[in-house]
Structure 1
Amino acid sequence: MNRRTKTVAVAVAVLLTLGAGGIAAAAGGDTGHGDGGVREAAALTGTAKLYRPAGDDITFGFDAHLAAKDNKDPQAATGTFRFSHYKDGKGGYAVAKVDCLTTGGRVAVVTGVVTETDVDAFRNKRVGISVHDDGKRDRLGYSWVGRDTNLEVPPCLSSAPFEQVQAGTGDFHVLPWKLEYPTE
């Protein structure tokens, strides 16, 4: 396996592992789940495995939130996301601290700086992931696709959700961001 393939595999594995963290409650009582609390401005939660016919074990997990008080500042988002990619006993994982979250309808884009990993190429790097929560077969995209995977990723950016999750594994939940516009 060439070096680039190994790096991508490890990166995906890291993201997948991070997803195993599950869904956590938002800070400050922001919930968006109809329990009487203040609605969060935006959120992305859940886990899924990517579909790979060759048997790769690729997992992504999210626990990202934007509090109601930070509605106009997506870079105030908090939480973590994780990913991992393993095949034939080889691969890796990464955990990232969220530094931006934007959502619209059933699509979310989250970025974060990798704080824990066993893949040197991801250490202390910002990565971006996009999710399409279609309610049936979710989709996902990530920033480290293409020829130059060492690009600096700005906050709030990723690729289109080009990957399909494995049937029966996607439980992503995107809480749409509702911007408040001035009336005058």
Structure 2
Amino acid sequence: MSRIAFSPARTRLPALAAALLIAAGATGAAAAAGNGQEGGAGHRPREAAALTGTAKLYRPAGDDITFSFDAHLAAKDTMDPEAAYGTFSFRHVFPDGTSGWAKAKVDCLVTGGKVAVVTGVVTDSDTPFKGKRVGVTVHDQGTHDRLGYSWVGRDAGNQQLPKCVSSAPFEKVKEGSGDFTVLPWQPIYEQPKG
């Protein structure tokens, strides 16, 4: 009967080295995949929430409607969505060539999963919305994003919209026109004491 000669120390050393490499890789991957609230040396913390991108809405009648977002909530403001900053804008060109546009300064951003609600006060516009708060909701579904806005209904021009409020995302984004990206908000809740 032949015996295979091997040294237990030679076998254990490569196995230990492999285990250490796997553990180091797993630890690094876990840190990179974490909630990002803490940054390591040279790394900035992940922002608390964001809504970015530009796309056109689908309208079979030929309307050209574009929404653009650059809204952010810094990591240091994780528990204060009203500390959000940035802008969003929209432009609607009707089939007859008439148009309306507006640009708003963000005053609240809340995201959950792939849905974002952003509100802001219109700072510049050729519509009656100038100086008023409006809200927009985006559902980030890749190439099939959806969008909704607060100015629906007969009294849209008279509404007094609170921060962080909008409607369901009832509009479809025109295929191939762009893409919205939602960074999910991850609130940090205090643990009960005792």
TM-score (norm 1): 0.79
**Letter matched to residue 99 of structure 1:** D
Question: Among residues 44, 48, 64, which one is paired with 1:41 in the alignment?
Answer: 48
| 1:130 and 2:137 matched | yes
Whole-angstrom distance in 2 between the partners of 1:130 and 1:169: 18
Other-structure match for 2:87: 80
Q: Do the aligned residues in 2 keep the contact of 1:41 with 1:177 (CA within 8 Å)? A: yes
Q: Do the aligned residues in 1 keep the contact of 2:143 with 2:179 (CA within 8 Å)? A: no
Please report the RMSD computed on the Cα atoms of aligned residues, expressed in angstroms.
1.6
Which residues in structure 2 correspond to 1:10-159 (within 5 Å)?
Answer: 36-87=43-94, 88-119=96-127, 121-149=128-156, 150-159=158-167
How far is the alpha carbon of 1:117 from its aligned partner?
0.5
TM-score (norm 2): 0.75
Q: Deviation per CA, 1:9-40, whole angstroms, max 9, x where unpaired?
A: xxxxxxxxxxxxxxxxxxxxx9xxxx932100
Whole-angstrom distance in 1 between the partners of 2:43 and 2:64: 39
How far is the alpha carbon of 1:136 from its aligned partner?
2.6
3-state SS of the aligned residue for 2:76? helix
Unmatched segments (≥5 aa) in structure 2: 1-36
Other-structure match for 1:176: 184
3-state SS of the aligned residue for 2:53? strand
How far is the alpha carbon of 1:148 from its aligned partner?
1.2
How far is the alpha carbon of 1:168 from its aligned partner?
1.0
Identity of aligned residues (%): 68
* Paired residues, number: 151
**Letter matched to residue 48 of structure 1:** A
How far is the alpha carbon of 1:176 from its aligned partner?
0.3
3-state SS of the aligned residue for 1:61? strand
Unmatched segments (≥5 aa) in structure 1: 1-29
Q: Deviation per CA, 1:157-177, whole angstroms, max 9, x where unpaired?
A: 000000001011231000000
**Letter matched to residue 102 of structure 2:** A
**Letter matched to residue 41 of structure 1:** A
Whole-angstrom distance in 2 between the partners of 1:68 and 1:39: 6
Q: Do the aligned residues in 2 keep the contact of 1:138 with 1:170 (CA within 8 Å)? A: no
